[in-house]
């Protein structure tokens, strides 16, 4: 899975690094759009990401639910994370 252009540095008027510290998580990535937050989490896990790493997407274009059911999570319609 190739994701571009990269995670956001600011989200909802907040510095993402500051949110990372406030939420006490080892890593926080916020994306405008991702095919799937789960795919991104798997990609990071393969690179030995720390437990409790959080990936947030404003929009998912190829999300998967239970039993592999596909779904799209439209921007502004919820909070999508893994």
pLDDT tens string 26-71: 999 999 988 988 899 999 999 999 999 999 988 888 877 778 777 7
Q: What is the pTM of this model?
A: 0.79
Higher pLDDT, 48 or 81: 48
Judged against a pLDDT cut of 70, whether residue 13 lies above it is answered with yes
Nearest to 32 by CA among 23, 40, 24, 43: 40
DSSP code at position 68: G
Which residues have C-beta within 8 Å of that of residue 56, sequence separation ≥ 6? 11, 28, 29, 30, 31, 37, 79, 80, 81
Would you state the structure tokens that stand for residue 28, as one six-digit string?
């926080």
Would you state the structure tokens that stand for residue 50, as one six-digit string?
């720390």
């Amino acid at each position: 899975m190739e994701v571009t252009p990269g995670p956001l540095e600011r989200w909802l008027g907040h510095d993402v690094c500051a949110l990372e510290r406030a939420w006490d998580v080892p890593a926080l990535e916020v994306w405008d759009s991702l095919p799937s937050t789960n795919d991104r989490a798997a990609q990071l896990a393969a690179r030995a990401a720390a437990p409790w790493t959080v990936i947030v997407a404003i929009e998912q274009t190829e999300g998967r639910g239970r039993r592999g059911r596909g779904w799209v999570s439209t921007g502004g319609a919820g909070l999508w994370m893994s």
